[in-house]
Structure 1
Amino acid sequence: MEVIQENFGTTQDQDIVAYTLVNSKGMEVSAINYGAIITCIMAPDKEGILEDVVLGHDTLEDYLKDTNYLGAIAGRVAGRIQGGSFELDGQEYTLAKNDGNNHLHGGNKGFNAVVWDAEVIEEEEHCGVKFSYVSADGEEGYPGKVEVMVTYLLNDENRLSISYSAKSDKKTLLNLTNHSYFNLSGNLKRDIQDHTLQLKSDQFLELNQELIPTGRAVNVQDTPFDLREGQKVKTGTTADYEQNKLAGGGYDHPFLLNTNQNKEIVLKDETSGRTLTVETDQKCVVVYSGNMLDSNGDFRDVPSRKHLGICLETQGVPDAIHHSQFPSVVLGADEEYRAHTTYTFGVE
């Protein structure tokens, strides 16, 4: 178990370092201290061949230009906030409208676009890196000085764990996630439409035309959102169903999880044999099937296109501040925010 450090460039007058976590089986997870971005995950297929299973870039310049939140930490609040504003204890807070009329993934300079401090972890049972960042009171319009830590750990069972913790000196909103795009084919040989996705979820949240939750939870039964027994992702990308069509042909929806820490999210690619099992303590997962990936640019040497990757964003419910029936994402002064998700890579 070791962590290899390499220079990845310079931005904001700060050095950007790539940290590569390596376990005894040869699996690797690489992340940089810009945006706490996961840049590469090398995982074995059924023949033992290690290949990259996430979308990424080779240069810092490409990440500085990226608009897809590739592999990054989204925050302070993941997802959209309707109208770019919210009220807390009678006070109105105005945020950047960086997604039409709405606020998305923390604003113009969210946690995906800042330089984090980093601390290497090398222990017998795992290796990793702990990223930390202090978000100033008023940053991107949010109240409170927030101290955030995100820890990536890799063990010898090919399990990557992401632990989030934070404290604020004022009541604020906080809802963090990692925005990696997975593609288990290896080195992006195919898109993700023939991947099988299984979710332990009986309900998804209906979206309006701006991709904001309407507040209505819909039963998945008899819809392309019924993934309880596992379905090909193309079930959603090709569906003649209004919710899939308004999302750009596919999924960009929160699914309410029936259970936690119980193999609640499983992604498989039959051709490579790779599997990804996601377990979390969060209320929901936003499944985004890469509907808005366009044909501009590329990911390393593979041209960008729709459905080249799928995000499994474990988090609190999006736009919860505007829906009292949703679990709250309000963090009180001096309360501790904690969240935990594991990603176990296997084969079958």
Structure 2
Amino acid sequence: MELTIEQGPFGHAPDGEPLSLYTLRNRTGMVVKVTNWGAIITAIEVPDRDGRLADVTFGFETPEPYFGDSPYFGALIGRYGNRIAAGRFTLDGRTVQLDTNNGPNHLHGGVTGFDKVIWHAAPFTTDLTVGLTLTHTSPDGDQGYPGQLDVTVTYELNDDNELLVIFRATTDQATPVNLTQHAYFNLAGSGTVLDHEVTIHADRYVPIDATSIPLGPLAPVAGTPFDFRTPRTVGALIDADDEQLRNGQGYDHNFVLNKPAPGALSLAATVREPVSGRGLELYTQEPGVQFYTGNFLDGTLTGKGVQYGRREALCLEPQHFPDSPNRPEYPNTILRPGEVYSTRSLFRFTVTA
């Protein structure tokens, strides 16, 4: 068996342009499928403890469900992952107004974010990896953002069942950038994720208001349902009497990662599914990770022959903190001309006996 990447048809974009689906395979049987529509990961197949493959991420078999108001299954998110309050911020003395597409706020790049455009895709192979590099140019004024942004994302798969995601961007005007990958995971392949054991290496998290905008100060996880510093099942405290859980209707919060040094590629979170033995380790250079437990899925969406129900998937989105352009105390998200936005995250799939 060789490392391979195959290109096949994936229907047509709303303007009629043909779309492609790229299937990456490693020598151990892991499969990752990516479409050039939105640089979306549509499927990830990994083995369980008995070697049986299952698709452990939510997605669709045709492109049409991705065109509308979908929950960002597998999406490449940009220019800014997460929310910006009222879609407004001040940059170098000028007020910038973005699309508002999540109640009063701006979410995941706006109405036509990076998940709803065609990317240019270039497959590649090396001795040790197989991958896909996708590029997109976001024009000045796109969804209200200033400046032209040239973006590259690379998905690279190796034989250790590791999927490396590399982002790079440059701009000709100062603009906020916070790219992320929005895969929904269910390591059992189906059913609830309430029995998934989660560890998040974070002493603090970002409390939010009822519209999921940060309240400001970071809060300690100690003594709260947000303490995942040691393994805890998703369902253990998800329905606890806690204002923050009510605001998110479960977990939908950004965790402030404990980093050995700023920008270090370090272990952020671990997930274990006890029945299949599958595990997931997330390593990232990002300062935070958004932990979301599929609270707003309601069974009305069907993909791959399965109804996607509430709390049947979880997301670990490596990123900067929400509303950072309005929070000078948070790590900086403003990219300026002459600078290069560059960040990596690695999803390692494991098996335990």
Which TM-score band (shorter chain)? over 0.9
2:244 alignment partner, SS class: helix
* Cα contact 2:203–2:222 (8 A) shared by 1: yes
Deviation per CA, 1:130-156: give whole Å up to 9, x if none: 010000011100001010000000000
Deviation per CA, 1:13-66: give whole Å up to 9, x if none: 322100011001111000000010000000000001011000011111122235
Aligned mate of 2:61, from 58, 61, 65: 58
User: 1:4 offset after TM fit, Å?
Assistant: 1.0
1:202 alignment partner, SS class: strand
User: 1:182 offset after TM fit, Å?
Assistant: 0.5
In structure 1, C-alpha distance between the alignment counterparts of 2:215 and 2:69, rounded to whole Å: 29
* Cα contact 2:39–2:76 (8 A) shared by 1: yes
In structure 2, C-alpha distance between the alignment counterparts of 1:14 and 1:148, rounded to whole Å: 21
Deviation per CA, 1:162-182: give whole Å up to 9, x if none: 000000011111000000000
Aligned mate of 1:5, from 4, 7, 16: 7
User: Which 5+ residue runs of structure 1 have no aligned equivalent?
Assistant: none
2:317 pairs with 1:305: no
Percent of aligned pairs sharing the same letter: 38
Alignment of 1:1-348 (within 5 A): 1-11=3-13, 12-186=15-189, 188=190, 190-248=191-249, 250-259=250-259, 260-348=264-352
User: 1:76 offset after TM fit, Å?
Assistant: 0.3
In structure 2, C-alpha distance between the alignment counterparts of 1:176 and 1:222, rounded to whole Å: 31
Letter in 2 for 1:253: H
1:245 alignment partner, SS class: helix
* Cα contact 1:171–1:333 (8 A) shared by 2: yes
User: 1:216 offset after TM fit, Å?
Assistant: 1.5
In structure 2, C-alpha distance between the alignment counterparts of 1:254 and 1:217, rounded to whole Å: 10
2:245 alignment partner, SS class: helix
User: How many pairs align?
Assistant: 345
In structure 2, C-alpha distance between the alignment counterparts of 1:323 and 1:237, rounded to whole Å: 28
* Cα contact 1:236–1:244 (8 A) shared by 2: no
In structure 2, C-alpha distance between the alignment counterparts of 1:230 and 1:134, rounded to whole Å: 41
* Cα contact 2:266–2:285 (8 A) shared by 1: no
Letter in 1 for 2:162: R
TM-score, normalised by the number of residues in structure 2: 0.96
1:278 alignment partner, SS class: strand
User: 1:261 offset after TM fit, Å?
Assistant: 3.2
In structure 2, C-alpha distance between the alignment counterparts of 1:151 and 1:43, rounded to whole Å: 20
* Cα contact 2:265–2:344 (8 A) shared by 1: no
TM-score, normalised by the number of residues in structure 1: 0.97
In structure 1, C-alpha distance between the alignment counterparts of 2:206 and 2:69, rounded to whole Å: 28
In structure 1, C-alpha distance between the alignment counterparts of 2:96 and 2:35, rounded to whole Å: 31
In structure 2, C-alpha distance between the alignment counterparts of 1:45 and 1:65, rounded to whole Å: 33
1:312 alignment partner, SS class: strand
Runs of 4+ in 1 over 3 A off after TM superposition: none
In structure 1, C-alpha distance between the alignment counterparts of 2:30 and 2:309, rounded to whole Å: 27
In structure 2, C-alpha distance between the alignment counterparts of 1:344 and 1:179, rounded to whole Å: 16
In structure 2, C-alpha distance between the alignment counterparts of 1:47 and 1:121, rounded to whole Å: 31
User: 1:235 offset after TM fit, Å?
Assistant: 2.5
Deviation per CA, 1:235-261: give whole Å up to 9, x if none: 34222211011111x111000000253
User: Which 5+ residue runs of structure 2 have no aligned equivalent?
Assistant: none
User: 1:304 offset after TM fit, Å?
Assistant: 2.0
